[in-house]
Amino acid sequence: MAKRNLVAITGLGVVSPLGFGAKNFFSALMNGQSGIRRIDAPFVDELSSKIAAQVDFNSEAYFSRMQLNQLDRVSQFALVAAREAWADAGLDKNAPSSERTGVYLGCGLGGAASIESGYRDLFEKKLARVSPYSVILTMTNAPASHISIEFGLQGPNQTFSTACSSSGMAIGEAMRAISHGYADCMVAGGAEALLSYGTIRAWESLRTLAREDTDNPSASCRPFSRDRNGLVLGEGAAILVLEELERAKSRHAPIYAILRGFGSAADASHLTKPNSQGQARAMRLALDDAGLAPDRIGYINAHGTATVVGDETETHAIKEVFGSRAYGIPVSATKSMHGHLMGATAALEFVATVMALKTLQIPPTMFLRQPDPLCDLDYVVNAGRDAPGLEVAMSNAFAFGGSNAVLVASRA
């Protein structure tokens, strides 16, 4: 195999239910804060599941009225996170070649709010026409295209839509583009804004959403806890700037971590029921890609959705890969605090993983109240911890449809 370029992570951008900015986001995780709350929408009383992880977002603070005509909420999130990541990487005055810089983004649904608005205009209000911007507002690749246009990035521009693993796929393939010499710099991550009436009702029908904890709504998502009862939908965006390592070093860029491995594998068994063998295969492929033995992993950010079957399956998959050592690896499910961002969730959790490596701190799995004998690993229960020896970490993303993406990173 030809020698590969190493890939540095030089910029991070976050728009999340726990706030804006990677450092603020990670601080909230370490403090066990939850962004899950009662949905702030006029249709909330029509829902069975009245909780979500919403972003407090004033679009007019970031965009003109003219711009907003062409920007669904999902693209707004993506642009704000990308701006932060670009500036964080110190690229405002030191931009790389535009033809060697691209955008790979994950997005599951596209412009959900705009889709519903158009349907209401057409089918309920019986308007003669819908907005002339309907197509560009709703298309799934709009967020990536807006980022490319804003920064003048003329390299590869692709959107990955593999449900919950979308942004993990985007980051992994962006790493490959740099590793194999197709690009020098990539803006990669994900965005999602699906907290619309129709989308939530569809998820309710699937019977995977958590019931509200009546005593503490913010504790409604409880991964790996025996009393868990489903996932909580969230929204937001997470964007990373990836660069060829020697280029990043030559411009004295801040380096958060090194992205070393990516594994992608399909369950090929069921659309909604996860398969531990497919998940384990993705983890092994990521380790092989990184050239690392399983005993090098010091932390795993789990997919951990808080569904009964999902958490059991992931626990079993981790044991398949790591054997008896699985019990000594800290594992945390940060969805307990920021919810499930679908197409953006893998990127947000990878930001948490990168920050864990940078700060030598591991975020907790919150609200794990009842031990489950089938989920018996070290889940960093209810309080973050220092990890002075942490060198290598793994981040899992396992999706409906059986599309699995796993990323491995190490300290810079």
Percent of the chain at pLDDT exceeding 90: 93
- Beta strand 7-16 with 236-244: parallel, antiparallel or unpaired? antiparallel
Residue 183 CA to residue 101 CA, distance in Å, equals 6
**Is residue 229 classed exposed, middle or buried when 0-12, 13-18 and 19+ CB atoms within 10 A define those classes?**
middle
Q: Is 346 within 8 Å of 404 (Cβ atoms)?
A: no
Instruction: Answer yes or no: do 219 and 302 share one domain.
Output: no
Give whole-number Cα distances, 411 to 169, 277, 318, in Å: 21, 29, 22
Q: Is the pTM of this model over 0.95?
A: yes
Alpha-carbon dihedral angle through residues 51, 57, 58, 64, given to the nearest 10 degrees: -120
Number of domains present in the structure of the chain: 2
Instruction: Answer yes or no: do 340 and 221 share one domain.
Output: no
Instruction: Answer yes or no: do 240 and 300 share one domain.
Output: no
Q: Which structural domain, as residue segments, surrounds residue 157?
A: 7-250
Give whole-number Cα distances, 308 to 96, 215, 239, 312, 401, in Å: 46, 21, 30, 7, 18
* Statement: residue 347 has pLDDT above 60: yes
Instruction: Answer yes or no: do 93 and 13 share one domain.
Output: yes
Instruction: Answer yes or no: do 277 and 377 share one domain.
Output: yes
Segment 258-272, tens digit of pLDDT: 999 999 999 999 999
Instruction: Answer yes or no: do 339 and 386 share one domain.
Output: yes
Binned at pLDDT 50, 70 and 90, residue 1 comes out as very low
* The pLDDT of residue 261: 98
What counts of helices (H) and strands (E) characterise the chain?
13, 15
Instruction: Answer yes or no: do 245 and 368 share one domain.
Output: no
- Judge whether 257 lies within some domain: no
Instruction: Answer yes or no: do 212 and 282 share one domain.
Output: no
Which phi and psi (to 5°) does residue 286 adopt?
-65, -40
Active site residues: 164, 303, 340
Which residue bears the tokens 């290598």? 392
Q: Which residues of 131-164 are buried (b: 16+ CB within 10 A; e: fewer)?
A: beebebbbbbbbbbbbbbeebebebbbbbbbbbb
Segment 185-230, tens digit of pLDDT: 999 999 999 999 999 999 999 999 999 999 999 999 999 999 999 9
* The pLDDT of residue 32: 98
Region 334-346: what's the mean pLDDT? 98
Residue that terminates a domain, selected from 250, 281, 316: 250
CATH at 268? 3.40.47.10
Six-digit token string for 58: 């004033």
Segment 3-36, tens digit of pLDDT: 689 999 999 999 999 999 999 999 999 999 999 9
